Amino acid sequence: MGEQQVSDSTSVFVAAAPSYAGHDAPQRLLLVEDSPEYALLTEQLLHSHLGAQVEVRVCESLAAADRALSDEEPDCVLLDLSLPDVGGLEAVTGMHSAAPEVPIVVLSGSDDEALAVLAVKEGAQDYLVKHRVEADMLVRAIRYAIERKQSELMIARQALVDPLTGLPNRAVLVDRLHLALARVERSDDCLAVLFVDLDRFKIINDSLGHLAGDDALREVAKRLVGAVRPSDTVVRFGGDEFVVLCDGVGSQEQAERVAERICKELAQPLTLGERELVVAGSIGIAFSADQSVTGDQLIRVADQAMFRAKQRGSSWELAGPATGALPSRGLEIQAELRRALERVEFQLHYQPQMDLLTQRVSGVEALLRWKHPQRGLVLPDEFIPEAEQSGLIVAIGEWVIAEACRQLGGWRRAGLCEDELVMSLNLSPRQLADKRLVDIIDESLTGNAIPPERLCLEITESTVAADPERAARTLLAIKELGAQLAIDDFGTGHSSLAVLARHPLDVLKIDQSFVVPLGVSLRPRRLFGAIVGVARALTLGTVAEGIERQEQLAAVAEVGCGAAQGFLLARPAPGTTVGPSLRLPLAAM
């Protein structure tokens, strides 16, 4: 693992991309083959096509290849599966373990399709049968393997970095907190977690637009980094929330001085276009001098202290000793959520998805809203974590499934939508663990006369991470029912290529973080195209999320993405608003 600097005073650990040979340097290949005759033949094939532009190093065993890798990392490995010290898939897993960032092309004497599929699943980029290999085929396979590996590594790096600000994301925070708590146990130092939430940030998005809001978030990220020590970690936690991990602080007073510096930085006017604004923030501080708490508990306590700071109008609040107890505000929200269920205060808003070939509505995503009697319309990010924590998400999710199916059934009976319209909705980890989930889905579909394939259940990889075996059984049962499955937010946080092969998916929803840079340069377009290519190879449908600009829409259509969703096309709205427009071209909505 290499360390990539994300900013002047914070860094994130990412898988370092290999330095592939350029046009002026010969391509370095490692051929792992125990047959001298076939090794010589392969070298001749490569030199006949590439001449001096290729250097081939031959090793007769996996152990010899491992030693060669310690001398120099090649651009690609050509791997036989029948070696003296290892054979079959173990050769692939062994090589992938020894050089996880180097692409592998298998050269096997076995014309076994099942073996080829398994080899690719274990880490190879391609599988060629020896007696069919010709020079141009081999060179093409090597080139494509290198390009695919670069795309995989780029996606892996993206999973650890917030694409908007360049800061580390939650996955990095969890890892750093774990290490910091381990160090606390071995030293006299302490650590502090500062939870920073920007005040009234929604006004910027609503009045100046999301692009201006993005500019503001990037500037805030720079100021936070400038206010802390080089050894501290600044993370974008989500939306307009940031977390600062101060490792090795000597006292609570030192942590408070960091908060004071942050407040001074944020108090400086911010220029957005022709406007000058002040983006203030509220900060909660959690302090720990031992390992009796977890990183998650520290974040929750800091979050609760931040909420108190907002209520009292203070710049920051220092939490009491961090414990595993649920913050009192969480208990209040849970009580309110129970009342909301009883009084049916929840609503569904629907955001249409456009088929990029026909330019018409192909589906809608059901998005949960809470119509709070005092606070008005509350977005899910503000209450779903407490619903998940308390288990109330199961009852709320049951209501969502029933209501979404009721709405779709109503549209179909009224002739407001095409018969092929698909209703999408999200499943939570708790719902996947609910034994009644499949029956609830079946009852809702049957009761509203909806064909099962018109319902699409969306999951993220983190949704199935808690209990992968049970989740796999539940997802298989949903597929047997006939409903569709989609992987949501692909490319962020915990998502990986492995989940695409692990579950019976139908649709890949590509996260907004891959859409935002489109139109800025050619590289983001290539990365987006690579993801679409992976989905196409696995026969998955694709939906681009978060389309907000015309050039983004044009770019995702050009690379062959199947559908798009975002504010440019249509904002989420109640069913009574969306329904009458479902048969219109999406541009008319």
Q: For the segment 173-209, what is each residue's pLDDT rounded down to a tens digit? A: 888 888 888 877 767 678 899 999 998 787 777 777 8
Residue in 64, 66, 56, 59 with CA at minimum distance from that of residue 27: 56
Q: What percent of the chain has pLDDT over 90?
A: 43
Mean pLDDT (whole number) for 42-47: 90
Which range has the top average pLDDT, 154-163, 252-261, 456-465?
Answer: 252-261
DSSP annotation of 585 reads B
CA–CA separation, 493 and 106 (whole Å): 31
CB 421 within 8 A of CB 455: no
Tens of pLDDT, residues 156-179: 676 678 888 989 888 888 888 888
Does the pLDDT value for residue 274 go beyond 80? Answer: no
CA distances from 501 to 99, 116, 238, 535 (A): 22, 14, 28, 11
pTM above 0.75, yes or no: no
Q: What average pLDDT score do residues 27-45 get?
A: 93
Taking alpha carbons only, the member of 135, 43, 144, 69 closest to residue 103 is 144
The 10s digit of each residue's pLDDT in 53-84 is 899 999 999 999 999 998 888 999 999 999 99
Confidence (pLDDT) at 520: 67
- 544-551's contacts with Cβ under 8 Å and 24+ in sequence apart are 544/510, 544/514, 544/515, 545/489, 545/509, 545/510, 545/511, 545/512, 545/515, 546/511, 546/512, 546/515, 546/516, 547/515, 548/210, 548/211, 548/516, 549/211, 549/519, 551/518, 551/519
62 within 8 A of 34, measured Cβ to Cβ: no
Report yes or no: 29 and 76 within 8 Å, Cβ to Cβ.
yes
Q: How far apart are CA 548 and CA 513, in angstroms?
A: 12
Give mean pLDDT, residues 214-231.
Answer: 91
Mean confidence (pLDDT) of the chain: 85
- Please, what's the b/e burial string for 131-160 (b: 16 or more CB within 10 A of its CB; e: otherwise)? eebeeeebbebbeebbebbbbbbbbbbbbb
pLDDT band at 13 (very low <50, low <70, confident <90, very high): very low
Query: pLDDT class for 324, splitting at 50, 70, 90?
Result: very low
User: In the predicted model, what is the mean pLDDT of residues 7-28?
Assistant: 47
Between the alpha carbon of residue 133 and those of residues 58, 139, 206, the distances in Å are 18, 10, 59
Distance CA 481, CA 455 (A): 11
More reliable by pLDDT, 400 or 309: 400
pLDDT at residue 449, as a whole number:
96
How do residues 400-435 score in pLDDT, each as one tens digit? Answer: 999 999 999 999 999 999 999 999 999 988 888 888
Percent of the chain exceeding pLDDT 70 equals 89
